[in-house]
């Protein structure tokens, strides 16, 4: 997961941020000046992400890493046959 520079909207204000994502979560690195808290929404790319945890990097009150709910598409991530027995009809 690499970080990328983006603009996000938090509490109706646009902030410069860094983003990285996986299948289950999206992380944003933002200025602590945005005063975000768990449960708040982060808007990016036409989607809204709910903040589930916040980490104050280096405990200096400068940069926060927001862990947000990832995108869920309700599609299976695996393929293959629905019958996993491996046998054949006799």
Asked if residue 35 is part of any domain, the answer here is: no
For 27-45, write each residue's pLDDT tens digit.
Answer: 999 999 999 999 999 999 9
Asked if residue 15 is part of any domain, the answer here is: yes
Range of the domain at 2: 1-24+44-64
| DSSP code for 60 | S
Asked if residue 53 is part of any domain, the answer here is: yes
Asked if residue 52 is part of any domain, the answer here is: yes
Asked if residue 84 is part of any domain, the answer here is: no
Regions in the chain scoring below 50 on pLDDT: 72-81
DSSP letters, 48-75, are EEEEEEEEEGGGSSSEEEEEEE------
pTM over 0.85: no
Asked if residue 71 is part of any domain, the answer here is: no
CB 40 within 8 A of CB 54: no
CB 49 within 8 A of CB 40: no
């Amino acid at each position: 997961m690499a970080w990328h520079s983006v603009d996000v909207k938090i509490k109706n204000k646009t902030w410069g941020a860094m983003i990285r994502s996986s299948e289950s979560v999206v992380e944003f690195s933002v200025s602590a000046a945005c005063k975000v808290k768990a449960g708040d929404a982060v808007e990016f790319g036409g989607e809204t992400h709910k903040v589930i945890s916040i980490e104050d990097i280096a405990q200096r009150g400068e940069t926060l890493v927001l862990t947000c709910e990832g995108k869920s598409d309700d599609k299976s991530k695996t393929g293959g046959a629905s019958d996993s027995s491996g046998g054949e009809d006799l």
